[in-house]
Amino acid sequence: MESQSKLQEKEVVSVNKPRQTKSSIRTSNRKKWKKAGIFTLFVGPVLLAFSMIVLYPFLSGVYYAFTNWNGVTGNIEWVGLDNFKYLLFEDKQFHASFILTAKYTVVAILLTNVVGFGLALLVTQMLKTRNILRTVFFLPNLIGGLLLGFVWQFIFIRGFSSIGQLTGWSLFELPWLGDANTAFWGIVIVSVWQGAGYIMIIYVAALQNVPQELLEAAKIDGANRWQTLRHITLPMVAPAVTICLFLTISSSFKIFDVNLSLTNGGPFKSTEMLALNIYTEAFVNNRYGIGEAKALIFFLIVAGITTLQVMYTKKKEVES
């Protein structure tokens, strides 16, 4: 009896279920093809451009990292892991550039975020000139790195020298680009001056989204400005901190144009960052295979560090 009732229910369902005719199937197929065509029309050119400009050079670069090629002739010799062994155990300049880049990255991340957040706090106050200040602070980011380096090279050499002669301050009489230590800090100053305005814009957007009710309630409860900043403002802008840390880490590791135009790695390669070292190896020394091996190691390090940073700061956002 139960089996008969189940069969009857199935028959009723099959009768009530609308049957698809050939015309409806054709219509649905046409809609699918139309959607696929529209998707291909919009995504296809972008995907093709991405493949030609980014994907193919990256994959070919990975291949050349295992070869001995000068970047000019057609003679490409497969050497396997020899390039990586040379970089890890013999190339002293690569080690020095990596250590210098790591040191610069730590300093630039801290200063750029602190200065950018401080500027964001300033321009979100009830000031009459806050819109003008936002524009002034953001303007250095619009100047290209090469041009910026040459401008600041003139400032460090001629401008600081003139100020030092007028004031007698020893700070302006230092050989800013002629000594390894001062040249390093010269690059840091220019990079922070250029990047802090962009980071400021992100922090401004986050600070404007902080509920004013929370700030007013904290003020009524007797919290001072530091307590309000530490316990309310900073946790509320944590997503912006994640973005800014990611941007500053990647840009600091990849610094090239300012380094090239300001010091060109001098004096005596003491300020040669990793990106400039890779460029010099591949296009000046004509050792393209070793240059690609350096670039591959560089890519893996930056990708690993930025991934760990995003994962860690995202967890902190959830906890806060």
Distance, CA of 181 to CA of 271 (rounded, Å)? 9
| Cβ contact 196:119 at 8 Å | yes
Please say whether the dihedral angle defined by the alpha carbons of residues 247, 248, 252 and 258, taken in this order, is positive or negative.
positive
**Which amino acid makes up residue 27?**
T
Distance, CA of 46 to CA of 38 (rounded, Å)? 13
| Cβ contact 213:157 at 8 Å | no
Contacts of 177 (CB under 8 A, 6+ apart): 153, 156, 157, 183, 186, 262, 263, 266, 267
**In the chain, domain spans:** 22-64, 82-319
Distance, CA of 307 to CA of 249 (rounded, Å)? 11
Q: Would you call 264 exposed, middle or buried from its count of C-beta atoms within 10 A (0-12, 13-18, 19+)?
A: middle
The pLDDT of residue 7? 47
| Cβ contact 319:242 at 8 Å | no
Q: Which helix (H) or strand (E) holds 180?
A: helix 180-208
Q: Which residues pair with 78 in a beta bridge?
A: 67
The pLDDT of residue 13? 44
pLDDT tens readout for residues 236-280: 999 999 999 999 999 999 999 999 999 999 888 999 999 999 999
The pLDDT of residue 218? 87
Q: Which residues pair with 68 in a beta bridge?
A: 77
pLDDT tens readout for residues 173-200: 888 898 888 999 999 999 999 999 999 9
- CA 251 vs. chain centroid, Å, equals 4
Please identify every stretch of the chain with a pLDDT value under 50, giving residue numbers as ranges.
1-2, 6-7, 10-17
HSE (side-chain half, CA atoms, 13 Å) at 15: 6
The mean of the pLDDT values for the chain is 87
What is the three-class DSSP state of 49? helix
For residue 200, give the nearest of 108, 121, 105 by alpha carbon: 121
The pLDDT of residue 242? 93
The pLDDT of residue 22? 64
Residues in the chain, overall count: 320
The pLDDT of residue 5? 53
Please give the angle made by the CA atoms of 299, 301 and 302, to the nearest 5 degrees: 65
* CATH class of the region 82-319: mainly alpha
